[in-house]
Amino acid sequence: MSAPPKARLTHALARVPYAQFLGVRAELHGDELTLVLPYAEHLIGNPMLPALHGGVVGALMELTALTQLAVAARSEKFPKTIDIGVDYLRSGRPVDTFARARVVKIGRRIANVQVEAWQDARDKPIAAMHGHFLMPEDESPS
């Protein structure tokens, strides 16, 4: 019997040391997964503004895509990133940041995912990501 989605999600995030470093936590409401990046001073990339480091925002979105795919595939293995493209739309302010992934398609081997990150309002994203991921091979016996 497969573990419930919330348990798979918690297990998936616990296996990613960088998620622990960022302090990312997950919220699951039905099928909708949102990763939350709580603000912390060590996440600032430009202290003059101050603004979140772009790599942190990109990593949050990639982690959101990988976690969404791991939960959707019900696999113990994470997909592997093939490529991602990030569009930075505005500076990330020193506040909590949220990200949500939309799985466009999961094929036999490749998945296509879009992610948006926002802070105060979801309709005002700070960044968007599009990526392709190699799905883990089915482990069931032939």
Q: Kindly report the average pLDDT of the chain as a whole number.
A: 89
No. of H helices and E strands in the chain? 3, 8
Q: What is the pLDDT of residue 119?
A: 98
Strand partners, 106: 111
- Name residue 101's amino acid: A
pLDDT at 142 exceeding the cut of 50: no
Third-level CATH fold of 5-134:
Thiol Ester Dehydrase; Chain A (3.10.129)
pTM listed for this prediction: 0.89
Q: Which ranges in 1-142 belong to alpha helices (H)?
A: 5-14, 17-22, 54-73
* CA pair distance 50, 105, nearest whole angstrom: 37
Dump pLDDT digits (tens) for 65-90.
998 888 787 777 789 999 999 999 99
